[in-house]
Structure 1
Amino acid sequence: MQGVLAGAAVAGAVHAAVNARLLRTPPADPPATAARVRVVVPARDEAHQLGPCLDALTGQTGVPRLDVVVVDDGSTDGTAAVAAAHGARVLAAPPPPPGWLGKPNACARGAAEADDVDVLVFVDADVRLAPHAVAGAVALLDAHRLDLVSPWPRQLAVTPVERLVQPLQQWLWATTLPLRLAEGPGRPSMAAANGQFLVVRRVAYERAGGHGAVRGEVLEDIALLRAVKRSGGRGVVVDGSASARTRMYAGAAELAAGYEKSLWSALGGSPAGSIVAGAALAAVWVLPPLAGGRAGLVGYLAGVAGRAATARRTGGRVWPDSLTHPLGVLALDVLLVRSVLGHHRGTLRWRGRTLTG
């Protein structure tokens, strides 16, 4: 059995290395686009983050027809005032109706009445875009006949807990998702996306039902890509490490709350499926190193190699962080169990709201 598990770890590392070569990257010097682009920034109590985000959007090059909309999602900290001071158009999101979560509701408000727009871009307030980011993403849509791209930002991990867990996001899809096959329409289960920076053609967005189709989804980004694929569109995660950067969670407490709100559905699509997926992760990348022996060493080194290949390709820290890979997977599984329990008890909260999705 140890040999089988080690073989699975080796296969995962090989797949991650292949995906590192296949991962599409927006051009660093994209041509100017004639597309009419609306950037939607959903913001709830983001006054401390919003200014630098909007400054980066104002500095976008190659997008002469750019419209920036900040959707104030019931903020109490002056978010709307900061947005207005930076020249953005501000819309107020109504309270989420029954069945809606806050972020899908805010995104839908920002995308409303966009008949004169060709491309919708959704950007979180804690993301900092490079000047070529939007034009580069649009160029990638055009070059590969895609309807949606999700440029995964470079994830800034500062504290030990962040460095332990945060890089697992990219490692998971690099290890498990066949990127080229995942680009095509259909196969909605083959989807990885990051709502921190997501770019979609308006016609494909509306054909998929927009954020109304994912109104109750905690992971609305992945759900939106799946809706686009189900409706005949093409989309995939792409490299955004040179286009965007963000520190998703600052410190252990914020990271734990952020992961627990969604892990119950992130890995397997449901609490039961996620538990099965978490058990599989532990079996392949945690148990063999603990068991020791030659097979355990092979499994450990394969996990380190896959983690290193992914980090190198996505702008992460390679060494020494990759060496702690089994501990990271174990920490992720602990967060998963807490997420499933919180979902079952109805105690999961985020940004002051109870999550019922």
Structure 2
Amino acid sequence: MNALLLRRPASQRRPASRVAVLLPLRDEAHRVEPCLRALLALRGGPAIVVLDDGSTDGTAELVRRVGGDRFTLLSGRPLPEGWLGKPHACQQLADAADADVLAFIDADVVLAEDAIERATALLEQSGVDLLSPYPRIEAGTIGERLVQPLLQWSWLTFLPLRAMERSPRPSLAAAGGQFLLVRRAAYDRAGGHAAVRDRVLEDVELARSVKRAGGRIALADGSGLARCRMYTSWRELADGYGKSLWASFGSPAGAAGVVGLLLALYVALPLTVLLGQWAGLLAYGLGVAGRLVSARATGGRALDALAHPVSVVLFAWLVVRSFARRRRVTWKGRPAWRP
């Protein structure tokens, strides 16, 4: 039902809102150029504001070389006490933007030329205040192919999307910071990123803040609007998940309950086929079928669904590792955890 009801990009109708595309960067010179060149090709003429957050690898110079005067390039201020890096960068970008809609993207996102027009049109047509169009997640290595598809599969499987849109409950919320649009008025009412200054999952927490302020949020299929390769190796993936996966759960006990349920449904039950219990084969088939539905709905690889039990085991290991290391994790030279 979620796959059938998932919001899709709007038609080519030109949106009425003025849009600013906001890109925070910190030491991204090795991978941001495709993102920058895609921004130059955007239709509709949105304002493009880039913030260099204390990079030491030539990121700012690359932005100037690629974008020239097409981009507004800001230099990030020192990180204040009590803030994490990304919320602080995003707040500075928002403060500098003069637009009706703020479109936040990450350095690893490559937008289609009509992405901003179509996503903004969908925001307007749906009547929501915050829209999260999930990009098509690209995966190259085996580790990426096993773990990354679980991003979309998790919310398609366990989150009632239309109920989330209707419900005022902040706890019923999801969002992806790779590509996120929010109406400026709703952003300001919610307190902006200042309201989530110390949150590791600032994207989800911003969606919750919008709900608390009386706004509505929605997820959408953004696979035709943007592509994103978040990590290029198992080490990068493990470190990336390690800094934030623990924050997806309310507590270690909550994490244990969720992970235990996933292992029981998608690993232990299928393994009963080895004991002659053919219901295990049915359980495996249902798990794979769910992954196939998710892949079809979000532009993923169908073949990778066959390894779903292995994916769940790796996810469980990543959750345990994230909790074990959360108090000492750093990200790009800064602490990635706040008590």
TM-score, scaled to structure 2: 0.95
The counterpart of 1:138, out of the listed 106, 114, 120, is 120
Mean alpha-carbon deviation: is it higher for 289-298 or for 102-111? 289-298
Contact 2:131–2:181 (Cα < 8 Å) also in 1: yes
Contact 1:47–1:77 (Cα < 8 Å) also in 2: yes
Aligned counterpart, 2:63: 83
Q: Is residue 2:256 matched to residue 1:275? A: yes
Mean alpha-carbon deviation: is it higher for 203-212 or for 87-96? 87-96
- Give the AA of the match of 2:286: A
The counterpart of 2:54, out of the listed 64, 68, 74, is 74
Aligned counterpart, 2:295: 311
Contact 1:265–1:271 (Cα < 8 Å) also in 2: no
Aligned counterpart, 2:286: 302
Matches within 5 A, 1:156-167: 156-167=138-149
Contact 1:263–1:274 (Cα < 8 Å) also in 2: no
**Could you say what secondary structure the match of 1:112 adopts?**
helix
Residues 93 and 185 of structure 1, relative CA distance in 2, 3 Å threshold = farther
- Give the AA of the match of 1:328: S
Alpha-carbon shift at residue 93 of structure 1 (Å):
1.5
Alpha-carbon shift at residue 290 of structure 1 (Å):
1.8
The counterpart of 1:148, out of the listed 130, 151, 173, is 130
Alpha-carbon shift at residue 151 of structure 1 (Å):
0.7
TM-score, scaled to structure 1: 0.90
Mean alpha-carbon deviation: is it higher for 188-197 or for 323-332? 188-197
Counterpart CA distance in 1 for 2:130 and 2:36 is 22
Counterpart CA distance in 2 for 1:89 and 1:271 is 43
Aligned counterpart, 1:191: 173
Percent of counterpart pairs with the same letter? 53
Alpha-carbon shift at residue 33 of structure 1 (Å):
2.4
Counterpart CA distance in 2 for 1:94 and 1:269 is 32
Provide, for residues 241-298 of structure 1, a one-character-per-residue CA deviation record: whole Å limited to 9, x for no partner.
00000111111100000111111121x2333322221112112111101222122212
Alpha-carbon shift at residue 113 of structure 1 (Å):
4.2
Contact 1:124–1:196 (Cα < 8 Å) also in 2: yes
Mean alpha-carbon deviation: is it higher for 323-332 or for 105-114? 105-114
Matched positions, count: 332
**Could you say what secondary structure the match of 1:154 adopts?**
strand
CA RMSD of aligned residues (A): 1.3
Aligned counterpart, 1:291: 272
Mean alpha-carbon deviation: is it higher for 132-141 or for 268-277? 268-277
Provide, for residues 37-62 of structure 1, a one-character-per-residue CA deviation record: whole Å limited to 9, x for no partner.
1111010111122222122112111x
Matches within 5 A, 1:192-271: 192-266=174-248, 268-271=249-252
**Could you say what secondary structure the match of 1:97 adopts?**
coil
Runs of at least 5 residues in structure 2 that lack an aligned partner in the other structure = none
**Could you say what secondary structure the match of 2:22 adopts?**
strand
Runs of at least 5 residues in structure 1 that lack an aligned partner in the other structure = 1-17
Provide, for residues 143-191 of structure 1, a one-character-per-residue CA deviation record: whole Å limited to 9, x for no partner.
1101111110000011111000000010000000101111135122222
Contact 1:149–1:235 (Cα < 8 Å) also in 2: yes
Aligned counterpart, 2:89: 106
